[in-house]
Amino acid sequence: MKKLCLTFSFSLLLSSFLPAAVDATTSSKTKHLKKKHVIQPAASAESRPAPAAPTVERNHGIPREKLVAAYDYAKNLYAGQQFDKAKDIFKKIVLAATDEDLNSDALYLYSQCSFHTEDFTACVKGLTILAKRWPDCPLIKGGYVSRFCSFLINDVANLQTHWDYYRFKERLDENGNPIWKESIPPGFKIKRINFKLGFGLFRVLRIIEPNSEQTAAAGRKLNYMLNAPITMIWVDEKAPPNPWGHPADFFSIFSTNERKDFSKVICDRMFFDWQTEKLYQFLVMYDDVRNLKPRFVARTKEPEESEQVPVPANNGALTASPVPGGPAAQIDPTAVLTLSKLFQVAGYNPFSDTYTNVIESSPTDLNL
């Protein structure tokens, strides 16, 4: 009896202990399985560390003393007005130097040498890089760049509005190509239009000080240049089509292709580094004969006058007003030659130096 009671009590204790042990074992297995099947979230792009930017060695590993010696040598060439040699050295210093003083000074003097050698595209390129790379350098903060730009813009915007030009063949060179000579009236001076330099320097001013009165004044001068009417009388000797000269009457058909070629010849003399075949639309072109020599002649059109009728004004005085629907509404837009109209026809934007017409030539880069 005593053994039976002990067995019964032991079974009760065992039954009360087993569920707790089983639950503990089951929960531990479940936790283990959960830990085993947990999927870690992928790291987001934002949490990933950004790749380190490549570090450029100071002055690309060239000792500063060598760059300073080259800079001083180039400055001596510049002082001696050997601008072409100094320009090449300054360009090499710009590509090698990372120190602000050397790089900024070399960029500025590179642009000055480019101006003196009439490489105006490189002049604008150097000042643009200087304004973007070192906006707080003493050359910009001291006003040297802005004064240089304003002075040249004022000179470029002083547009020559009358062209009286005659070009004739003087002789042939050793290869048989004609050598041309210019003839202009006494006291008359041909000034080539350099609008690309003016608008390029204006873009530099807008980078340096976009809201200054100096920049606004430069923009007004350039706008005046764009809208100034230009008159022209251009005479160019016509080369014979064959060794026996022209036909008996010394005249030939002035085709559209000849007009386009003649337009490029005129643009090559009128502008720095810019041509368009659309200039003929603003000119009257024809053949002429002087001293048995055939010539191309181009002149600007005579402005058409609109018919006007007097109408009473508020104060009783008579003022002129164009007739509605009359000739005033049909005036030829190419009757008056201006740079603004010429650029519009050619698809060129001088403010950004870009083309919307893919046929026209596009500006080149210096790879500076």
Which pLDDT score is estimated for 291?
A: 65
What's the CA gap between 246 and 114, in Å, rounded? 45
What's the CA gap between 65 and 55, in Å, rounded? 22
Q: What is the pTM of this model?
A: 0.71
Which pLDDT score is estimated for 219?
A: 95
Please list the ranges in the chain whose pLDDT falls under 70.
Answer: 1-54, 56, 186-188, 238-253, 289-293, 303-331, 357-368
Which pLDDT score is estimated for 128?
A: 96
User: What is the tens place of the pLDDT at every residue in 29-52?
Assistant: 444 444 444 445 555 555 566 666
Which pLDDT score is estimated for 46?
A: 55
Q: Which domains does the chain have, with CATH numbers?
A: 58-142 (1.25.40.10), 162-194+230-301+336-355 (no CATH)
Which pLDDT score is estimated for 304?
A: 55
Which pLDDT score is estimated for 324?
A: 47
